[in-house]
Each structure stands twice: as C-alpha cells, then as structure tokens.
Amino acid sequence: MLPAAVLVPDTAATGALFSIGDRMTSPTKTSGDEHDEVCVRDERLAEVLDGLINDSQSGSSAELLDKAVRDNPDLESDIRELYATAMIAADVALLQSDELSQIIATKTMHDVVATVSMSPVGSRIGEYELREEIGRGGMGVVYRAYQQSLNRTVALKMIPNAAFAASQDLARLRAEALAAARLSHPNIVPVYEVGEHDGQPWFSMQFIKGTTLSMWLADGPMTAEEAVRLLLPVVRAIDSAHQAGVLHRDLKPSNILISKAGEPFVTDFGLAKRVPTPDDSLLIAGGSNETNLTQSGAILGTPSWMSPEQAAGQTEAIDVTSDIYSLGAILFAMLTGRPPFQAASPFDTLLMVMEQDPPAIRVLNSKVDTDLEMVVLKCLQKPRDLRYSTASALADDLTAWLDKAPVSARRSTVMNVVSRLFRESHHVTILRNWGLLWMLHSMVVLLLCLLTNACQIAGVTSRMPYVGLWVIGLGLWATVFWNLRSRSGPITSIERQIAHVWGGSMVASSMLFAVESVMNEPVLTFSPVLGCIAGIVFLAKAGMLSGRFYIHAVALFTTSIVMAAMQRQGTPNFSLSLFGIVSGLTFFLPGLKYYRQQKKSIKL
C-alpha cells in the first residue's frame, strides 16, 4: 500500500515547489501593476530556484545558496525556505524505494511500452528459465526460475529493461549480489551465482517457498514467545553478517522471508554497507562501494524501521547498532502489530523517529512482560551507545528471556547511571546551529549585567532605566537572535521548545521589576533570583540536549546564593557582574564547542 504522500525530486516536484512559492508570494488577488510585479517576482524566484537546484548537483550547495541570496536579496526568505524544502524532498525521495518504484513504474509504463520488450517471463537468462515474477522492489525484480543443469528452482533477481535503469540502481544490484555472496549462514538466503546478460546484471539465490514477516503481521501481533523464537535466528544471522563486515541497513518485516516450515531467512542486501572486521583491519569503513552508491547526507532505508542516525542522513554514524535498532523495531511490531513510529507521510515518520520516543509496548499489548519490553526499548534507544553493542548481545538477552533468566537490559552499574546522566541526547546536533549565536548571546548578557551593575553602583534608584535595559533591550536582542537563527535554515520542534523555555526565562527576569514595585521594594532587590531562573533554563536543556548542562545549572543555582550573600553585605555590590560572568560562560563555552563542530563538519 502506498503512503499518503511521497516526494519525488524530479521536474514535476520542482514545479510543485514553485507553485507553493507562487501561493506564498501572492496570497491575495492583485490587479494592474501589482499583479504584473507579483508575476515577475514569481518568475524570477522560479528561475533562481531551478538554476540553484540544478547547479547543486555538481557543486557546494551552501556556496551556491549564499550566491543566489546575494544576487537576489529581495527574494532571500523565499529562496531559503523553498530550497530547504527541495533538499528535503530530494532526500525523502530515497526513503521508500518499494513505493517509489511502483509510482515510477505506474507513471512511465504507458510511455515506454512501445520501446520496452515484453515481460521476460518465459525467456532464458543463461541456463535459467524465468517462469514467474514473485517480487518487485526498489532495485530489482525477483523471478522464480528453473535451473536446468541442476534440476532445481531458484530465485533470480535482476533489473528488467536495464537500458532504462539508473546506473546507481545497476551498481546497487551488483553490490547486493557481492554482499550476499560473501555471507554464509543458514538463515541468510544464499546466493548461488552472479552473472551478466546483455549488459544486465543478475544473481540467483535459494528459492524460499513461503511468505514474508510483513504478511504474517497483517493478521495482528504474535505471542511474545512466538515472536522471540522467530526473530532469534534472524538476530544470529545479522550478527554473522556483521562479523563478515556487512551491514544490512534495510532490515524490515518485508525483507524477512518465512518458509512453509516456519524458518526465517534474511534477504535483500541492496543497501548493504561494507565495514571493517577484525581480520580486515586495512579496509576503510564505507569503502569505494559505499562512496559510489551513497551521497553524503542521503537518507537510506524505510522510515518506520530505520534508526535515528539513518533518518537524519548521518551516513558516517551508521554502524552495527543501526541494524540492532531495526531489529528492535521489528520485534516491537511483532509484539504490538505496528511499527514503533508511523505517520501519514514518510517525512512525518522521519521526524517521529528523530524526535519522539516509541509508545510503551505494554500499553499496546499488556501480555508482554517488562523484561522483554526492556530488551526492545534498549534496541530502540536513540543514542547509539545505549543500544546493544552487538547483535550477539541482543541474541543472548533474547535467549535468556526464553530461558526465564535475567536479561542484561535490566542491569546497570553506578558508572552507567552517571554516564547516562551526563551524556548528550540525539537532539544535541541542533546546537551546531546555535554555537555562534550563543557566543554572541553570552556577550550581550555580560554587557547587560555590567551596565546594570554600573547604574546600581552609581546610585540610580529609578526603576525605569533598568526596565529599559532588561525589558526593551533584552526583548530586542531576543528578536534579533531568533531572526538570525531562522535565516540559517529550517527550525526543528526541539529548538522551538528550547526557545519557549528561554523566552519564559526572559519574561520571568523582567517580571522581577513588577514584583518589586508591587511589594514596594527597592529596585534590584530580587536580582539574586536571576541565578535561579537561569539555572532552571539549563536544567531543562540538560534534559533535552546534554546532561552536561546539569553542571551549568548547578553553577547558576550556586551563583544565586552567592549573589544574595553579596547583596546582604551592602555596597559596593558586584553581584550582578558576577551573574553576568557566570551566565556568560555557561553560554559561551558550549557555544564555542558547537561552533567548532559546525566549522569542522563544513570542512569535511
């Protein structure tokens, strides 16, 4: 079944994006000169975007985008927004190759029917006679074929009409054949022979008579013991593949075949990646095949089953734990009848994978015990180091669960707890967009506190100068800050949450003047509370972004107490200067760290 929305980065999709731009720039009817001006503007915008998208295929997209904005400053907002949408469309188009292939096949069938030969069923490929099409995916079609020399039925995968196939699809089919051919495990569909016919690559493999796990799950969830017993051989098979230096990267129920005897088999290594093994130390992870087949930042896999690092397009971060995440997602579906994340469109599912936690298994199926739920949740952890480090460790826990023995997912040490407390969350990558802004913010906060302290020491007792500095001045800076962030790219939901917390802290800081006035207290009497307010902000950031911000929160809470003590001692009172220094450092130091990370990633 096709998803509700699939984005395809072709000419039609570009046209659709331009249409969006037309609606955005002319939401109401115009007449005369105004209408002509809008039309000219839209034509310019379409022309700029068309050239930008085409040129970005062969050049640095960041440099090209900056040049387009410099050349068309009046279109900056629309260019940045629509170009970001186009880039997202280009990535999402790779998400579900099965669905895309069906869309493309349906769309182009009538156009190419006159030039494409009849179905290859009934024809011969070498010594194989193609007898029936049994499966169709994003990078090939699988046929039931008869091998006359050995008198056996096999499955033969190829790309029909190879002349019309993309070179990348042909290369991936070859890579799949080579990846699967080097694996040897009873639960991995074995490859018998790899060949080429009239420039068309193909490979034959064992024919599994049965169904797929996705078809099994169409009838609803399985019992916990059935699910674990069925998945355990698959986990062992994936561990064998990892030991051989192959990552699958597209594990999902439709890629697990189940024979009539109930034996599971892993298939479809079309997105497989070669990685180093202990016996292969000279091999570079993601070698030549990976470089040729995968663009940096491309999204590979199927949204509901892919790991957060795959969803974010972080191809360099994909390792064995990415396959373990997918195995956990499959087990989740086997126990609940649905994947951990599903939405109306692939893009919405991607956002859920990156930003949300899966629903509790026991809420969906109360018959699942807590130990098995812990095993699944450990697989589905967003930080990679919180998952099982190997598929073998996952298999051991599943075996322990079957034997009613304790599972390692429940065990933790004091060091594990401390490590988890201070680790970075999967959201922390967004701070690369905030690095420079946080450094600027630290200077603004320090300057604001120094000016306020100078007025205080100078004997200014009127409330209005301070209100001007903290309410108007800080409010203007917040507006500038957010505008600068908005111009650097799309804003994620976690950034909006952080912005709300930060905005709330500024409102609370400004409200101190009103509280002092109502209570008829001298101005800045409640200034030590600023440390508490700022500490709460970093406490929230620690939970959302990085546990290291707990240290910043403690520093600010402590500063609040010191400020109160300094204020009690009387003049000269430098408590606000102290707050400015500590608060500035809590923003400047992480800002500098993430700014350097961003510069490093740009160079790479």
Average pLDDT for residues 6-22, to the nearest whole number? 33
Residue 97's pLDDT is 41
Helix locations, 113-191, DSSP H = 167-181
Please give the mean pLDDT across all residues of the chain.
Answer: 78
Share of the chain above pLDDT 90, in %: 39
Q: Check residue 526 and give left, alpha or beta (phi > 0: left; psi -120 to 50: alpha).
A: alpha
Is pLDDT larger for residue 389 or for residue 92?
A: 389
For the cut 50, the answer to whether the pLDDT of residue 105 exceeds it is no
If one looks up domain 98-206 in CATH, what number appears? 3.30.200.20
Cα separation, 216 vs 458, in Å, equals: 78
Cα separation, 77 vs 88, in Å, equals: 17
Average pLDDT for residues 117-124, to the nearest whole number? 71
Residue 41's pLDDT is 64
Long-range contacts: 147-156, Cβ < 8 Å, 24+? 147/192, 147/204, 152/207, 153/207, 154/128, 154/192, 154/204, 154/205, 154/206, 154/207, 155/189, 155/204, 155/205, 155/206, 155/207, 155/208, 156/125, 156/128, 156/130, 156/202, 156/203, 156/204, 156/205
Any bridge partners for residue 247, and if so which?
273
Average pLDDT for residues 170-193, to the nearest whole number? 77
Cα separation, 568 vs 559, in Å, equals: 14
Cα separation, 466 vs 460, in Å, equals: 9
If one looks up domain 210-411 in CATH, what number appears? 1.10.510.10
Per residue in 525-577, pLDDT (tens digit) is 999 999 999 999 999 999 888 889 999 999 999 999 999 999 888 766 899 99
Residue 96's pLDDT is 40
The answer to whether the beta carbons of residues 251 and 270 sit under 8 Å apart is: no
Provide the pLDDT confidence category of residue 596 given band limits of 50, 70 and 90: confident
For the cut 60, the answer to whether the pLDDT of residue 252 exceeds it is yes
Cα separation, 297 vs 167, in Å, equals: 20
Average pLDDT for residues 95-104, to the nearest whole number? 41
The answer to whether the beta carbons of residues 577 and 449 sit under 8 Å apart is: yes
Name the residue type at position 322: S
Q: Residue 204: CB partners within 8 Å, gap ≥ 6?
A: 128, 145, 147, 154, 155, 156, 157, 191, 192, 193
Which of 169-173, 224-228, 302-306, 325-329 shows the lowest mean pLDDT across its residues?
A: 169-173
Is pLDDT larger for residue 374 or for residue 15?
A: 374
- 3-class SS of residue 96: coil
Per residue in 285-325, pLDDT (tens digit) is 333 344 334 443 445 567 889 898 888 777 777 889 999 99
Burial class (CB in 10 A: 0-12, 13-18, 19+), 186: exposed
